[in-house]
Each structure stands twice: as structure tokens, then as C-alpha cells.
Structure 1
Amino acid sequence: MAWFEREGICIAYEESGPQDGPVVVFSHGFLMDGEMFLPNVENLQDVFRCIVWDQRGFGATGPTNRAFSYWDSARDLIGLLDHLEIASASLVGMSQGGFVSMRAALLEPDRFRALALIATRSDLDDMSVTDSFEQLKAEWTRSGAANVAGNLAAFLLGPDYEASAWTAKWQRLPREHFDHPVDALTSRDDITNLLHDITHASIVFHGDADAAIDPGCGEALAARLPNCKGIVSVAGAGHTPNLTHAHEVNPLLRDFLLRYGR
């Protein structure tokens, strides 16, 4: 694990693959960290320089004591590329990581080659979803993950995935400052009217059993991205198809990046 500092925050990242290979940056979802991409990195690191990083609030980067937005996180991603002196990269973003990746592409469009967007959307959640995150924030302040880890595992990973490693991570997350990543999620802006500016080659993956973000959101996103090469519906997958159904996602992700990411 390595770190770089931006705005006084030490942001953790790891890289693998050939140093002179085309770069792919992987951005994880809410409550996850860079480890969620291990099955994908293993499939790509023979050709690509793969970089995973832990966003503010999660993983080895850890909690932050200040409010932030996904535009701030997008600038963290760009700052990571600056730190590594990387001029051009492709992006793989899952859910929250998709929010961040799209914003990074909007901030510095010439910096990026291709975008693979997984279980994400450009618009906003329904009020019922926002309310559920506010309830999660209150419960986390009271008890941390103790009373919610099991439900979160089923919600994010599906009922059949062995989630003990992830629930153990959530149990270790402190109660303090959990409000900041939740607020970033619930207060994010709608970027649907900006999608016409994301002209990079793109692909959308979405589990057809996703309970967190409706598959229709993935279809709408793919329809609005001007250079989208298609949408992949992953049968039986929930909110983390790249992790739980990597054997189905990996060949298509690899083919896309070989075509458009180098």
C-alpha cells in the first residue's frame, strides 16, 4: 500500500502490472474499498498498469473529519494521476466509483481514454433511498455496523456471496465521521444533463438483480452516453457484479479495455 497527500488527506492506493502498460484506475463503491477489484485486476494486470485506490472515508484512507463532494473525490483521482505522473488513463468505476469517474471525465476530458461504469447512475436516488441512508447514518453513530452488517452484505453483495471479510471490515470502521461519506452520497448533484460531454468510449455493466440501483438506471445511462459501446446485463447479479460475477464480467471488460483503453 502506498499513499499520496491531497488537501491534508493521505489517500491510499496500490498498483500492479507493467509500469509501461496502459493505465486503468479502479474506483470502488460506497462501503467498499479497492480490494473489491482484485478479481478484475488479476485478469488485466498482464497487459494493463492497474491502480486501485481507497476513497475518502473507506479502506486504508480511512475516515475524514470534513465534508466533501464527489467532485472533490474526482479531483482526488486526478491528483493521484498527477502524483504518479500519468498523462492518460482509463477508468473503471462501480456505483459511487462511477459517480466519481464520470465527474473526473468531465473535469479533465482529455486525460481519459475509456470508461467502464458498473452498477451506477447519473441522476439522483428516490427520497426513500435517501431516507434509508439517513437512517443508516443515525444507526452507525449509535452502534457502528453491529446491527446492520448482515443486511448491508445482502444488499450490496447478494445473499449467496461469502461476505464475512467485508462484514469484518465494516465492523472495524469507526462510528465517528461516517456522516461525511453518507452526506456526499445523498447530496450529490444530478449530472444527467452533462453526459453529452462524456464522449469517451464507454461500457455499462449492471446486475439484473441489483437492489441498490435499479437496472433501468444503467439502461438510461448507456442510452445517454454518446459513445457507449453497449450495456451488459449480468444475469443473477446484484450490486457488485464485477466482484460476485467476475467470471462473466472479466472477459467483456478485458475486451473493451483492449479495444479502447490503450
Structure 2
Amino acid sequence: MATAFVNGRHLNYADAGGDGRPVILGHGFFTDHSVFDAQAEALLPHWRVIRWDARGHGGTPDDVEPYTYWDQARDVLALMDHLGLASATVGGISQGGFTALRVALLAPERVDALVLSDTEATPCDPGDKIGYGQMFAALAEHGPIDDLTGPLSQQIIGDDPRAAEWRERWKQGPLPLGAAAECLLERDDVSGRLAEITCPALLIWGSEDRSLPRDRMDLLAARLPAATPVTVIPGAAHTPALTHPAEVNHVLLDFLSTTIPSPTTS
């Protein structure tokens, strides 16, 4: 792991290194960059996987002042500058995808392709906003007790042994309950701008995802001009890259090798 001072703040990231084409991946809410460890290993040496911790997650501190996913997209672009990357494939899960879409809108010339997993372009659904708001309030009041982290791990990780690992990690804290939660709940709608994103886009969704319904991925497929059909990962919940790495790696490698050929493969 490494830390870069970018966009006026310290940002934690992990860089697999090497001379391959760069792939920058952002995690979902309540997790961190380590959910992509299997992808970093599988894609070497032809691709260089860079994973970063969003504000308030992992080793990247939260801010006192409010911020948006547009601000976090600028974090990614600043990290690319820090690493000397003119362009990269950019992607992520859930909020990592929210950020990736905004990176592509801010600087389309710097995004070779998108990898979007279990994510959406629309704002937080009103019903979801109420439910998440209640969960954040309960976590703030009671802390990461089992009654709260059990359902949370089921939602994010599903029926996978790593759910228990994440429940233990949440107990160590801190949880993203400040500006990070506000960023999630108050995100804006970019669905009307998807036609502006003309780079290739890989779409992945877990068949057991209860956080993000399939129709939100279908909207991406319909409106992104160069999107693949949605690839469904059977049995996966909200974080397929972590729980079903073999299946995700197969799809990802196929997409990258046919869409963004690495110089090392030519």
C-alpha cells in the first residue's frame, strides 16, 4: 500500500506495478481496495491494477466538509497525474462505479474503457435513502453490533465466508458515517449524460445483489453507447470481485484483451 497527497488530501492506494496497461478500480461502500486483490494478481503482467480507498474508507480519511462523487472523481484524476498516467481503464463496484462514470464525464480523453460492477447512474432511490439513513443512524448510536453488521454483511458480501471477516473489520472501525454517508445519499443523477460516454464499458452484476436491482444495470446497458450486455455472475451478491473472483477475472480478462490490448501482448 502507498499514500499519495492528491487533490489536497492523502489518498491510500495499492499499485500492482509493472509495465502493463493501467486499470484503476474503486470499491463499494463499507469496503476498501482489498476487494480487488484477486484481480490485481490475475491481471499481471499484462495489466497494472491500481486500487484506491475512497474517502472515509480503508486508509483514506474522511473529510469534515461535505463532498461529492465529482470530488472523488477528481481524486482519481489527481492520482493518475501522481502516477504519470495519461489514460487508464477506470472502474469499480457500486460507489466505485459512481465515481468512474464521473471520471469519464470529466475527462473522457483519459478513460480508455469502463468496468462497472453492481452500480448505477441514477441518484439514491427515495426508499433506499430512508433505509440507509436509518442504518447509518443506528450504527452511529450503537456501533457495529452484530444485529446491524450481520444484515449488512449479508447485503454486501452474501453467503460467503469472507462476510465474517468484514464484520470483524467493521468492529475495528472507523465506519464511514460522516461526509462519506452524505456523499452516498445525496449523489446527483448522471443518467441523462450517459450518451456522452463513448468508450467501451463492461457491465457486471451479481445475481443475488439485493442492494442494486438489475434494472439499474440495464439502464446503463441501454444508454452507454459502447456497453456490453450485462454479465450476470450467478450466486454473487453486491461484491462479485471479492466473492466470485474466478468468474469476474474471466470476464474482465476477456474484455480487456479484446478491447484494450496490452503492449506486452503484441
In which range does the TM-score fall when normalised by the shorter chain?
over 0.9
Counterpart of 2:72?
A: 73
Q: Hey, what's the Cα distance between the residues in 2 that align with 1:113 and 1:68?
A: 26
**1:156 alignment partner AA:** I
Counterpart of 2:264?
A: none
Counterpart of 1:2?
A: 2
**1:152 alignment partner AA:** L
Q: Hey, what's the Cα distance between the residues in 1 that align with 2:65 and 2:193?
A: 27
Identity %: 36
Retained in 2: the 8 A contact 1:29–1:95? Answer: yes
* Partner secondary structure for residue 3 of structure 1: strand
Q: Hey, what's the Cα distance between the residues in 2 that align with 1:222 and 1:203?
A: 9
Retained in 2: the 8 A contact 1:27–1:92? Answer: yes
Q: Hey, what's the Cα distance between the residues in 1 that align with 2:112 and 2:9?
A: 27
Q: Hey, what's the Cα distance between the residues in 1 that align with 2:229 and 2:17?
A: 27
Per-residue deviation, 1:6: 3.0
Retained in 2: the 8 A contact 1:2–1:13? Answer: yes
Asked if 1:169 is matched to 2:146, the reply is: no
After superposition, the C-alpha distances for 1:77-114 in whole angstroms (9 at most, x for unaligned) are 00100111110100121100000000001000000101
Counting only pairs closer than 5 Å after superposition, residues 136-175 of structure 1 correspond to structure 2 as 136-146=135-145, 147-174=147-174
* Partner secondary structure for residue 228 of structure 1: coil
**1:170 alignment partner AA:** W
**Structure 2: runs of 5 or more not aligned:** 262-266
Retained in 2: the 8 A contact 1:117–1:203? Answer: yes
Counterpart of 2:194?
A: 195
**2:180 alignment partner AA:** P
Counterpart of 2:245?
A: 246
Per-residue deviation, 1:9: 2.1
* Partner secondary structure for residue 162 of structure 2: coil
Retained in 2: the 8 A contact 1:92–1:115? Answer: yes
* Partner secondary structure for residue 204 of structure 1: strand
After superposition, the C-alpha distances for 1:144-175 in whole angstroms (9 at most, x for unaligned) are 22241111100101123432221122112236
Per-residue deviation, 1:215: 1.2
Retained in 2: the 8 A contact 1:153–1:163? Answer: yes
**1:27 alignment partner AA:** G
Retained in 1: the 8 A contact 2:27–2:35? Answer: yes
Asked if 1:130 is matched to 2:133, the reply is: no
**Structure 1: runs of 5 or more not aligned:** none
Per-residue deviation, 1:7: 4.5
Q: Hey, what's the Cα distance between the residues in 1 that align with 2:91 and 2:39?
A: 10
Query: Bigger CA drift: 161-170 or 221-230?
Result: 161-170
* Partner secondary structure for residue 209 of structure 1: coil
Retained in 2: the 8 A contact 1:144–1:174? Answer: no
Counterpart of 1:215?
A: 214
Segments of 4+ in structure 1 off by > 3 A? none
**1:163 alignment partner AA:** A
Aligned length: 260
**1:160 alignment partner AA:** D
Counterpart of 1:119?
A: 118
